[in-house]
Amino acid sequence: MFKKLYNPNLRSEKKEVLTQDGTVTLYSAEFDECYHSTKDGALQESLKKHIIPASILCDKDSLAILDICFGLGYNTLATLYYYKRNFPNKKLHIISPELDKSLVQSLRNFKYPKEFEPFRAVIEAVSQNFFYEDENIKIEVKIGDAREVIRGIETKIDILYQDAFSPKKNPALWTKEYFADIKKIASKDIIITTYSSATPVRLAMYENGFKVYNPPKSEVRSGTIASLKELDLEEIDMELKKQRNPNAKALSDGVLVVS
């Protein structure tokens, strides 16, 4: 397994950062990264890189969503915002691991955008109890290591928001072995959305049987969409990529990554 090169004592050291769309994110000293792209904007990144593409591609009456990792809760809350406006009767079960318990507990005081105001009760419940449920929505924030949490999930996952800190900073959540665990809990129609377009990450998905695609064009920077099924998107020829770059390897637990 990877050697962790960050200092856990820095977990509480975070500062607010204003992003391009006017929404606020945090900078994490622990990982030396912001929780969101400051150029795309926290809300716009969630909506246009994760929520909207996945909702278009995965059309079911009820959805089980795995949000890696909860962080500031933007992906989860943006999911509620988007589905309430467009698919109000859709049943959503969102599971989200998060290592930083104190961060989740602090979110009742976070400066969220106005779009999330209708979900104040959800924010309060999650920050206090790590859980929320009503007629159509169930949210479970599971405090702990994401790799361990995933191995304990019994629900078949329809959508995965692969939104961990970058492969350079948090490689354990981007490896071939990690995506093998994801495949074990994936529904046959799973849609994976991520901001990463790194070849080692794409190979880690591909070598587990996932088809890898370029996402639809949008106002945010491109990433990757993956699925076990054929999608009406531009598929990336990973075999050709391997031929052109014989040294390209999938990110793996057995490889020490030094940042």
The 10s digit of each residue's pLDDT in 7-23 is: 455 455 688 989 988 99
* Residue bearing tokens 């990110």: 251
Return the pLDDT at 91.
97
Return the pLDDT at 3.
43
Return the pLDDT at 5.
44
Q: Measured between alpha carbons, how far is residue 30 from residues 17, 35, 70, 80 in Å?
A: 15, 11, 16, 29
User: pTM of the full predicted structure?
Assistant: 0.91
Return the pLDDT at 11.
52
CA distance 94 to 80: 10
Model confidence at 1, pLDDT cuts 50, 70, 90, reads very low
Q: Measured between alpha carbons, how far is residue 231 from residues 33, 55, 95, 189 in Å?
A: 32, 13, 24, 10
Return the pLDDT at 27.
86
Cβ distance 231 to 207 under 8 Å? no
Return the pLDDT at 2.
46
pLDDT tens per residue across span 29-82: 888 898 878 888 899 999 999 999 999 888 888 999 999 999 999 999 999 999
Burial letters 179-214, b for 16+ CB under 10 A, else e: bebbeebbbebbbbbbbbebbbbbbbbbbbebbbbe
> What mean pLDDT do residues 185-199 have?
96
CATH topology for 43-244 is: Rossmann fold (3.40.50)
Question: Is the preceding omega at residue 58 within 30 degrees of 0, hence cis?
Answer: no
pLDDT tens per residue across span 76-99: 999 999 999 999 999 999 999 999
Question: How large a percentage of the chain has pLDDT more than 90?
Answer: 79
236 has pLDDT over 90 = yes
Return the pLDDT at 259.
39
pLDDT tens per residue across span 95-154: 999 999 999 999 999 999 999 999 999 999 999 999 999 999 999 999 999 999 999 999
> What mean pLDDT do residues 187-202 have?
96
